[in-house]
Structure 1
Amino acid sequence: MNKVQSRFARPKGMDHESSSNLYVANCGPAVGISFDNIESVFGTFGKVIGIYAADETGTRVIVCFHEVSAAQAAFKALNGSSCSDLGGRTLHIRYSISQPPQKVLGDDSLPVSLLASELAIPGIYLEHEFITLKEEQELLAEVDTRPWKRLSKRRVQHYGYEFLYATKNVDSKQFLGELPSFVSHIVKKIMLFPGLDDDRSKQVDQLTVNEYPSGVGLSPHIDTHSAFDELIFSLSLAGPCIMEFRRYPQGTWHAPAAAIGNNPQQFSNFTRKAIFLPPRSMLLMSGEGRYAWHHYIPHHKVDTVGGHVIKRSSRRVSFTFRKVRKGPCCCEYRQYCDSQKS
């Protein structure tokens, strides 16, 4: 079963009912539905010859049947209906047609750096083996004894201050308490992070723990300038991933997806760089790398690094340490700054 990036597209304006391929939305690994599960359900209507990721989100797939009649039967039975065998999700289906192969975000045409010096983005640092294997296991055990808050694609825990996803900010007046004692040794090691001389800038008071199932990533974004100070530390645990950085030519203080519909040309070309984050590594985003580059984790189950295919673990857990900002941001990157937006 071929499960690589799709060569198919959802046609615009009309459905090609003569096609044996179906574009299926609200279905894929990012919403907890495996390709094997999809094949099992759609296979009841006829022989399935391929399942492909429709795009990088992990929430849309292309199901390819051997016969057109099988695609038509599946469309009639499943489109707009809640499917109990696919987690009760309501599927939105269209017929799909073949298109020429295109380069896609996250493909192996993008070189992946192993070191921050290779990445060459000012303000981005990476230290491998920041903690030991034993410390990693202890941190995971600690968070697994505490309650998780479930989002649509992952689970989170917040300490110090809660991050509010609706506003992409924090309520600095709602203090949850000091950071838990089980990360005190991490906070101390942050103060010793190489390359930074101002100890005051390395003080942190907010922690977000993210658990990513296999295949789930993170949408491109810049951490809101007005929410947090300059330094953002992210510790990777349990599994590896690739993090991609993007610099958009005109700049934007918000996630680009919100603006693409209004001004697609502005976001059609951008600079892309990627770095491999192994377990137990600590990433620091500061300066230009924190304020002006969007960071993004592709929604992949496998990553290609130096010609080698690396399968993601069943879970990846990140500990992101930040300092809540008490006033407006006055950085030099005005075009990316919500405090200074016109």
Structure 2
Amino acid sequence: MGLPRFKRPGGTIESSSNLYVANCGPAVGLTFDTIEAVFGAYGPVKGVYLADESGTRVIVSYHEERSAESALKALSRRACPELGGRSLHIQYSVHSVCQTRNVNANQYLGELPSFLSPILEKMSLFQKLGYAETVLLDQLTVNEYPPGVGLSPHIDTHSAFEDLIFSLSLAGPCIMEFRKYSTGVWLTSPDTLNDEEAQNSEKSSKFLRRAIYLPPRSILLLSGEARYVWHHYIPHHKVDVVNDTRIRRASRRVSFTLRKVRKGPCECEFPEYCDSQK
């Protein structure tokens, strides 16, 4: 339903007819129609929009402020059965002056949380693997996954973030799949790719598939072709099969994804997949 026409507020907003809703969106298996139906219980919804390229945050725009206020009080920080049991994090939002497909590199929201310092220190050691530049990360996304909730196939926007993307898994494990789609198929928007393929993904002729197991407290690094070409995806189910062993997902999984915001166009070696080089 479009890209952001609103933005997350930098300070406190007393009231607004627009809500910024985190832990909610197509990348976690929730369609715009489903989101609108749930929030529509509190008043007529003008529209539901992506808040950014992650697909895990949306803007719900009401016609009246009192509808937004009712929804915020009823849904914020509470598990919502109609939305896959996800705990939503909601605050008021405001109109954005500019529309963009990328993060706003000039909209600095402050330092990363201090409790991440030991983790960032460990990540900085990855330069010893052959990366020329020191790893300096300045963007953090936190997502919470109840049992059975996954992540739709997507590639992080090239022009939004630099090469290295780190993902820290906490609380519970999961399987993450990587898919390299055949020519033309990858052009499909991440929120419209058919998740039903996951049930028979090994038999699909549309993409190559690789899967890895992410145990709790593990760090995943995406770089090069894995970051720029392969979609990453977490199946929407409650049990993963690892080496013929069935592993039930925990009651809660939390991921910390850390990136570095790109300040200019992407000049990667994969122009056919790159929004900067189209």
Q: Which category of TM-score, normalised to the shorter sequence, fits these structures? A: 0.5 to 0.7
Preserved CA contact (<8 Å) 2:152 2:193: no
Number of equivalent positions: 190
Change (3 A) 1:167 1:211: farther
Asked if 1:319 is matched to 2:248, the reply is no
2:235 is the alignment partner of 1:298: yes
Alpha carbons of structure 1 residues 291 and 254: separation in structure 2 relative to 1, 3 Å: farther
Contact 2:147 2:250 in 1 (8 A): yes
Matched letter for residue 162 of structure 2:
D
Structure 1: how far apart are the matches of 2:123 and 2:78?
A: 26
Match of 1:337 among 263, 268, 274: 274
**1:214 corresponds to 2:147:** yes
2:166 to 224, 233, 250: 233
Corresponding position of 1:14? none
- Give 1:291's aligned amino acid: Y
Compared CA separation, residues 172 and 281, structure 1 to 2 (3 A) = same
155, 159, 183: which one pairs with 2:116? Answer: 183
Equivalence map 1:15-30=2 (5 Å)? none
The 2-side partners of 1:149 and 1:232 are apart by: 30
Q: 1:278 aligns with which of 199, 208, 215?
A: 215
Tell me the CA shift for residue 255 of structure 1: 3.4
Instruction: Provide runs of 4+ in structure 1 moved above 4 Å.
Output: 57-60, 147-157, 256-260
| Structure 1 counterpart SS, 2:189 | coil
In structure 2, do the counterparts of structure 1 residues 259 and 238 end up closer, same or farther at CA, with 3 Å as the change threshold? closer
Conserved in 1, the CA contact under 8 Å of 2:151 and 2:234? Answer: yes
**2:102 corresponding residue in structure 1:** 169
- With normalisation by structure 2, the TM-score equals 0.60
Structure 1 residue 254, shift from structure 2 partner: 5.9
CA distance in 2, matches of 1:334, 1:275: 27
Q: Is the 8 A contact 1:58 1:300 kept in 2?
A: no
1:188–1:254 Cα change, 3 Å: farther
Asked if 1:308 is matched to 2:237, the reply is: no
Distance in structure 1 (CA, Å) of the matches to 2:136 and 2:87: 26
1:243 to 170, 173, 176: 176
CA contact 1:222–1:254 (8 Å) conserved in 2:
no
Alpha-carbon offset, residue 195 of structure 1: 1.4
Bigger Rg, structure 1 or 2 = 1
Matches within 5 A, 1:1-342: 154=86, 169-193=102-126, 194-200=128-134, 202-250=135-183, 252=186, 255-256=189-190, 258=192, 269-341=206-278
Deviations 1:128-155 (A, max 9, x none): xxxxxxxxxxxxxxxxxxx979995545
- What are the Cα deviations for residues 274-327 of structure 1, in whole angstroms up to 9, with x where unaligned? 000000110000000000000000001000111100000011001111000011
Give the alignment's Cα RMSD to 1 decimal.
3.5
Structure 2 vs 1, CA of residues 294 and 254 (structure 1 numbering), >3 Å: closer, same or farther? same
Question: Aligned to 1:207, what secondary structure does the other structure show?
Answer: strand
Q: Which runs of 5+ in 2 are unaligned?
A: 1-23, 32-36, 42-75, 90-95, 195-203
Q: Which residue of 2 aligns with 1:17?
A: none
Report the alpha carbon displacement of residue 198 of structure 1 after superposing the two structures with TM: 2.1
TM-score computed with the length of structure 1 as normaliser: 0.49
Deviations 1:58-79 (A, max 9, x none): 789xxxxxxxxxxxxxxxxxxx
Does the 8 Å CA contact 1:245/1:295 hold for their aligned counterparts? yes
2: distance between equivalents of 1:150 and 1:198? 44
Tell me which amino acid in the other structure corresponds to 1:295: H
